[in-house]
Amino acid sequence: MAQKVVVCGAGFIGSHITRTLARNVPAYPHKRRVQLTSRTPQALFETLNKDLPPDNLLPPFPADVTQPTSLGRAFEGASVVVSLVGVLYGTQKSFEDIQWHGAENVAKAAKEAGAKLIHFSAIGANKHSKISYARTKGLGEEAALSTCPDATVIRPSLVFGPGDGFFARFSKLAKFMPFLPVFGGGTSRFQPVYVGDIARVVEICSRTEDLAVRQLTDGKIIEAGGPQVYTYKEMMKLVLEYSNLTRPIMSLPFASGMIQGFFLEKLPPNLFTVSRDQIEQLKYDNVVDRNPSPNYVSFPELLEKFDGDARTPLRKILPQYL
C-alpha cells in the first residue's frame, strides 16, 4: 500500500524533503507518493518531477494555510503531513496569521485527515519572546502539539545546502560589497545543519508503520544542529574562503542594524533585505540545548540509529555550491 505524504510548503527545505521522500528508501517497505501543497506549488513540482521516479510525485495541490477549507481538500487521503509553514519577513499580523494560526490550521486539517503531523519550528521558538518570529514560532508549535499530541516537532538551527538563503546569499553580497558586515562583533553562535540531514530525519519520522520510530518520535521535539558550532563572524570567514574572495569583515553596532532594518524591511524582499527581528535575533545564540527536557529526542542519535550515518559537516558541503 502506498503512503501519501503532503509537504505543506514549497521552499528551499521543502524541495529537499520532497526529493528524499519521493525516492524509494530501502528501510521503508512501502512506496511513498508525495504531494506538494502551497499557494503556488506548480513551478517547484515541474522542477522536481524531472528527476524523480515515475508516479512518486503526485500532482500539486494549491492551498492557503490561512484558508482552512483549502487545506482539508489538499490533505485528503494523507498518511503524513509535513508542515513547513513560516515566513522570514512581514508585519506582526502576517507572522501571527501564518506562523501561529496558519500552523494551527495545518494541524487541524492533518488531524481531520488522520495523518501524522511533522511540524517545523525553530531553535529559539518561545511564545513569550518579544521577537515576532520567535514568538509566533513558539505559539505555532504549542498549537500544533495541542491539536496533534502525537506530532513530531523539528527545531532546526541555521539550515544550509544548495539553494539556501544564508551562505549563498552572503556569497553573492560579497561580490558587490567592499566588506561583509557583522553586528555586535559577530559573536552570536550558530550550529548550521545540512538540509539533507533534515530531510533524512523527516523521512525517518514519516515511517508511520515502524513502531520503534513512533515510540521515539511521537509527541517529541527534535532540536536539529550540525556537528560544529560557529560564531556569526566565523561563518562570514567561511563564505569568503569558499567564494575565493578577500574582503574585510566589519563589525557594526546593533543600533545601526536596527536602523537599517527599519527601512529595508518595508521594501520588497531582495538580496539586501534585513529586518529588525533578524537583527534582534543575532543577540542570542542559535544552538541545540545542552540540557534538553525529557520530551526532546537527540538529532544525531536518531540519524545514526535509523539511517546509519552521522551528521554532515558544513565544510564538506559549502565548496560544492559557493
CATH of 3-160+193-225+288-311, one of 3.10.310.30, 3.90.25.10, 1.10.3720.10, 3.40.50.720: 3.40.50.720
Tell me how far apart the alpha carbons of residues 33 and 78 are, in angstroms, rounded to a whole number: 10
Phi, psi values for residue 258, rounded to 5°: -65, -35
pLDDT given at position 309: 84
Looking at residue 232, its amino acid is Y
| Nearest-angstrom CA–CA distance, 276 and 205 | 35
CB atoms within 10 A of CB 318: 21
**For residue range 261-294, what is the model confidence (pLDDT) as tens digits?**
887 887 787 777 788 888 999 999 999 998 878 8
Angle at which helix 195-205 crosses helix 299-307, to 10 degrees, equals: 70
Q: Could you say which residues of the chain have pLDDT below 50? A: none
Burial class (CB in 10 A: 0-12, 13-18, 19+), 170: buried
pLDDT of residue 69: 92
C-alpha to C-alpha distance for 204 and 207, rounded to whole angstroms: 6
Query: Is residue 36 within 8 Å of residue 63, measured between CB atoms?
Result: no
> What's the confidence (pLDDT) of residue 42?
94
Q: State CA 151 to chain mean position distance.
A: 16
What are the Cα distances from residue 157, in Å, to 29, 52, 167, 188? 31, 28, 14, 13
Cell of 195: 538540509
Q: Which string of b and e fits 1-39 if b means at least 16 CB within 10 Å?
A: eebbbbbbbbebbbbbbbbbbbeebeebeeebbbbbbbe
pLDDT at residue number 260: 86
What pLDDT does residue 1 have? Answer: 62
CA torsion angle for 252, 254, 255, 258 (degrees, to 10)? 110
Tally of residues, the chain: 322
Q: Which three cell numbers stand for residue 262?
A: 527599519
> In angstroms, how far apart are the furthest CA atoms of the chain?
57
Question: CB atoms < 10 A from the CB of 128, how many?
Answer: 8
Question: Please, are residues 57 and 24 in contact by the beta-carbon 8 Å criterion?
Answer: no
Beta strands per DSSP E along 17-166: 32-37, 80-83, 116-120, 152-156, 159-160
Instruction: Supply the pLDDT for residue 232.
Output: 96
Whole-angstrom Cα distance, residue 37 to residue 74?
7
pTM of structure: 0.94
